[in-house]
Each structure stands twice: as C-alpha cells, then as structure tokens.
Amino acid sequence: MPELAEYIGAVEVKKSEISGRGLFATKNVESGTLLLVTKAIAVDRAVMPQDSSENAQLVIWKNFIDKVRNFATKCDRINSLISKLSNSEDEDSMEVPNIESFRPEAEMNSGISSEKLDVSKMLSILDVNSILEHSISSKVLGKNVDYQGVGLWVLASFINHSCDPNVRRLHVGDYVVIHASRDVKAGEELNIAYFNVLSPLEDRIEMAKNWGFSCKCRRCKFEDNLCFKQEMREIETTLRNGVVDMGSVVYRLEEGLRRWMVRGKGKGYLRASFWEAYSKVFDSEKLMRKWGRKIVPFETVVDSVVDAVGSDEQILKVFIEGLKRNGINGVVEMEKGMKLGRGVYGKIMKKQAMRTLIQFDGTQE
Ligand SMILES: C[S@@+](CC[C@H](N)C(=O)[O-])C[C@H]1O[C@@H](n2cnc3c(N)ncnc32)[C@H](O)[C@@H]1O
C-alpha cells in the first residue's frame, strides 16, 4: 500500500472560473518557489526501446490501472481521495475538498468508508487525471531518456490547464514537485500547461480537443476576441506552410502589433503564439544579420513572453544560446538567466519539502 505524503506549501482547492475546481495560491510567491510536493497513489514505468509499439504503452497503462484498482479496493482513504476527482462530467457541481483532507495525518480520521468506485467511473477518472511523466512543462530527474511512466498524483490533479500557466512540475522518484514558473499573487489560480503553449491558437484548440476540453483560459479568450483575428490566421497559415524566411513572419507580426495597438500582456500572448518564428530568427546568425535591426530586440521579446506565459525550457534554451553567442556581458543578463532557470527548474528545496521527499519524520528538527 502506498504511504502517501504531502508538502502543502501555500495552496488550497477552490472553485475555478476556468472549470470545476482548481488549485489556488494562498500567499504571494516569487518565481521558482515550491508550492506542493505530493506522492503518487500509483505509478508505473518501463524502459521503452526506440521502436516501442503501442502494445508496450498499453502494458504500462494496464499495470498502472491494476495498481490503482488494487489500492482503492483495499484502502478506503485511497478510494475516497480518488472519488474526489473529476471525470469531466458535471465538474462545476463537484464538491470542493478541504485541503486538510489531503494531509498525511488526515489518514487517521478517514475511517468513514466512501462508496466504492465502479470500474467504469474509475477508468474515466484515470483518463482525465493521470499524468504522463514526460509531458510538457514537466522535468524528470534521474531517469534515463528512454523510459515512459504514467501515474496519479491526487492533489496535483486539481490543477487546471492554462495557455498562460504560472506553475511547472518536476518528477523526483514517485513524487511530483510543483513550483511557480513566475511570480504569483495570493488568491491566483495555479495553472500548468498540459500541452505546448508556445504555439498558435488553432494548434492549441486542437491540442485541447485531444485532451477532451475546449480551453477557457484568459489567453484563448483574448486571442479569440481579436478584431484582427483574420490577419492572425493568415500569419498562422504562412507559418504552418513552412515559409523559408521566419524573419518576415516576425516582421509582419511586430508591424501588426503596432498597427493594432496591442498593449501589455497581449503582446506577450501573441509573441508566445508565434514563438517558433521568433526562436528561429534569434537562433540564426544569418537571419539576425538580415532582420536584427528591423525587429524588436530579443530581450524585449523574452521579457514579454515570460511575463505572459511564465518561464519555459524552450525560452531558456534560446536565451542561453544567445548569451553564448554574444558573450555574457552583464550582471543583468546573468540575473535574468538565473531567474528564468529558477522558473523552469524551481528553487533549492525547502527543508519541509525535502523531508516529505525523503519521508523524513516530520517531528525532528
Ligand atoms: C485534471 S482535471 C483539473 C481539475 C478539474 N477542474 C476538477 O474540478 O477536478 C482536468 C479537467 O479539468 C478541465 N479543464 C482543465 N483545464 C481547462 C481549461 N483550460 N479549460 C477548460 N477546461 C479545463 C477539463 O474538464 C479537464 O478534463
């Protein structure tokens, strides 16, 4: 039976404006701060050969489902925790669980047995809430690249997706560690990227569809309401058709942003949607020679994109390549790189979180 453990830094479950329930910050925290460490109810992994078949993946899923069912049958607490999760139906009317019920010490008080989940309900819950360890906005520590894993981390399952996410996750053994990927204010909903949010609206709509929902985040609403949507679609089509010169895409978009008088976060949202074009230009000496003086500086783009969608590994990579090419010539750039890194990988662990991770006796100093 799994020994569940949680480090609940500064989070609570509340009704979400996006969908159903969500996880919220209870304190102001800066980028990189650890918010939650939670142990899997069950996880299954296997090293996959390069040419792994769908069958091999099905075996992992089957083992994982068997483990969850076995634990839920034997343990009321696990059954009751899983039954709090959504299967996407009537999500808005589901009970908002008290954060206290997730603390390990709550285990003692959970003798009241809840109704046993039937198999089809359990499968639909696992379908919505299981996490693939190698998905976007997660980092897996200490595992070889060829493995695949799937697991269920109950409290992390309350995190809704947003195309302007503010948290990321790290996998350490059987634990998931959630940290802020940018500064977060008390009361803000914590959102993670279920898929690559550095992509255009149409692609994101498709990816959300594969996840079984239509995205109701702020950024999607903003991009969907633009009066110059048609022009954006045309730029997206050019991008999709694989234009040779990405500089022209960036130039056209930046001209548009000026003409359409896009302000504040809106600029970051749209630049994030066309990150593929920006990154190709900033990564190419040839394109920078041609377009460098005509387009907005790299630092401005990075600042606005990070402000809009938080720190991201793809942005960090282009940033570091840029530093290497131009030589690290200032404390400001170094600081910016460090902040980006903290947002992507999280700050050094807090003592309490570390204890949870190594299942240290919480009573000791
Ligand atoms: C892992 S659960 C997230 C927590 C869930 N809201 C709850 O109340 O338990 C995933 C489900 O939340 C909903 N969801 C998450 N992010 C969403 C978004 N950006 N827009 C619409 N629905 C979303 C979808 O129904 C999705 O299948």
Q: Which atom of ligand 1 is nearest to the CA of 212?
A: 27
The residue ranking higher by pLDDT, 320 or 190, is 190
In this structure, the residue with its CA closest to atom 15 of ligand 1 is 160
pLDDT at 64 over 70: yes
Confidence of residue 363 (pLDDT cuts 50, 70, 90): very low
Ligand 1 environment, Cβ below 6 A: 16, 18-22, 85-86, 88, 91, 94, 128-129, 157-158, 160-162, 212-213, 215-217
Q: Which of 17, 19, 157 for a ligand 1 pocket mutation test, highest count of atoms within 8 Å of Cβ?
A: 19
Q: Do the interacting molecules here have an ipTM over 0.85? A: yes
**How far, in Å, is the centroid of ligand 1 from the Cα of 204?**
15
In this structure, the residue with its CA closest to atom 9 of ligand 1 is 86
Mean pLDDT value across residues 285-307: 92
User: Residue 139 has what pLDDT?
Assistant: 67
Calculate ∠ Cα 85-90-96, nearest 5°.
Answer: 50
Mean pLDDT value across residues 225-243: 87
**How far, in Å, is the centroid of ligand 1 from the Cα of 160?**
5
Confidence of residue 178 (pLDDT cuts 50, 70, 90): very high
User: Residue 46 has what pLDDT?
Assistant: 83
Mean pLDDT value across residues 279-297: 92
User: Residue 272 has what pLDDT?
Assistant: 98
**How far, in Å, is the centroid of ligand 1 from the Cα of 215?**
9
Is 184 within 8 Å of 166 (Cβ atoms)?
Answer: yes
In this structure, the residue with its CA closest to atom 20 of ligand 1 is 215
User: Residue 135 has what pLDDT?
Assistant: 67
In this structure, the residue with its CA closest to atom 12 of ligand 1 is 160
Residues forming a β-bridge with 46: 148
Q: Which of 124, 154, 160, 215 for a ligand 1 pocket mutation test, highest count of atoms within 8 Å of Cβ?
A: 160
User: Residue 113 has what pLDDT?
Assistant: 52
pLDDT at 365 over 60: no
**How far, in Å, is the centroid of ligand 1 from the Cα of 248?**
37
Mean pLDDT value across residues 79-104: 93
In this structure, the residue with its CA closest to atom 22 of ligand 1 is 19
pLDDT at 28 over 50: yes
Confidence of residue 169 (pLDDT cuts 50, 70, 90): very high
Distances from the Cα of 66 to the Cα of 59, 115, 132, 206, 340, angstroms = 11, 19, 17, 31, 40
pLDDT at 41 over 70: yes
In this structure, the residue with its CA closest to atom 13 of ligand 1 is 19
User: Residue 143 has what pLDDT?
Assistant: 59
**How far, in Å, is the centroid of ligand 1 from the Cα of 139?**
21
Mean pLDDT value across residues 359-363: 51
**How far, in Å, is the centroid of ligand 1 from the Cα of 23?**
11
The residue ranking higher by pLDDT, 133 or 86, is 86
Backbone angles phi, psi at 297, to 5 degrees: -60, 150
Confidence of residue 270 (pLDDT cuts 50, 70, 90): very high
**How far, in Å, is the centroid of ligand 1 from the Cα of 96?**
14
Segment 94-129, tens digit of pLDDT: 999 999 999 887 765 554 556 788 999 999 999 999
Mean pLDDT value across residues 313-327: 85
Mean pLDDT value across residues 80-91: 94
> What is the 3 state secondary structure string of the chain?
CCCCCEEECCEEEEECCCCCEEEEECCCECCCCEEEEEECCEEEEEECCCCCCHHHHHHHHHHHHHHHHHHHHHCHHHHHHHHCCCCCCCHHHCCCCCHHHHCHHHHHHCCCCCCCCCHHHHHHHHHHHCEECCCCCEEEECCCCCEEEEEECCHHHHCEECCCCCEEEEEECCEEEEEECCCECCCCEEEECCCCCCCCHHHHHHHHHHHCCCCCCHHHHHHHCCCCHHHHHHHHHHHHCCCCCHHHHHHHHHHHHHHCCCCCHHHHHHHHHCHHHHHHHHCCHHHHHHHCCCCCCHHHHHHHHHHHHCCCHHHHHHHHHHHHHHCCCCHHHHHHHHHHHHHHHCCCCCHHHHHHHCCCCCCCC
Q: Which atom of ligand 1 is nearest to the CA of 158?
A: 4
Instruction: Give me the chain's average pLDDT, please.
Output: 88
Q: Which of 89, 91, 204 for a ligand 1 pocket mutation test, highest count of atoms within 8 Å of Cβ?
A: 91
In this structure, the residue with its CA closest to atom 21 of ligand 1 is 215
pTM for the complete prediction? 0.92
Mean pLDDT value across residues 325-349: 82
The residue ranking higher by pLDDT, 137 or 149, is 149
Q: Which atom of ligand 1 is nearest to the CA of 129?
A: 1
**How far, in Å, is the centroid of ligand 1 from the Cα of 298?**
34
Name the CATH code of domain 6-196 (choices 3.30.1330.20, 2.170.270.10, 3.30.420.40, 1.25.10.10): 2.170.270.10
User: Residue 282 has what pLDDT?
Assistant: 92
Segment 209-222, tens digit of pLDDT: 999 999 999 999 99
pLDDT at 313 over 80: yes
CATH 2.170.270.10 boundaries in the chain: 6-196
Mean pLDDT value across residues 34-40: 94
pLDDT at 256 over 90: yes
pLDDT at 39 over 80: yes
**How far, in Å, is the centroid of ligand 1 from the Cα of 210?**
13
Is 253 within 8 Å of 235 (Cβ atoms)?
Answer: yes
User: Residue 141 has what pLDDT?
Assistant: 64
